[in-house]
Structure 1
Amino acid sequence: MVHLVAFFCPMPTVDVCQCSIIKIHMELIYHLAVANYTYLLRILMMLHRQ
């Protein structure tokens, strides 16, 4: 997830606190997306077995 921080903070003038908040939000969104994706895959697998 380091590349996201570099993407959101290209300039040193950007507030570090604001940048870290964006980084935390992006990591949360990323983890939620991965969790939802695996959850959907498990549901699809269960449906295929039936």
Structure 2
Amino acid sequence: MLIAVLLSLVAALVAAIIAYATGGRGLKAVGWGAGTFLGSMTLALSMLTILLS
């Protein structure tokens, strides 16, 4: 579980940095980071559920 959270945080940070570097403002970068975190966390938890069941 901890690995899933950490991987999702790294993915969100990378997405936010890319969004900010391409000319987006702060709120756009936060939105991209939050969306990426939500998506990657959902995928990671789904995979963990499938693998552990």
| Higher RCO, Cα 8 Å, sep 6+ | 2
| Aligned length, in residue pairs | 42
Extract structure 1 runs of 4+ deviating beyond 2 A.
Answer: none
Q: Give 3-state SS (helix, strand or coil) of 1:14's partner.
A: coil
Identical-pair percentage: 5
TM-score by length of 2: 0.62
Residue ranges of structure 2 left out of the alignment (5+ in a row): 1-9
Residue ranges of structure 1 left out of the alignment (5+ in a row): 44-50
Considering fraction of residues, name the structure with more helix: 2
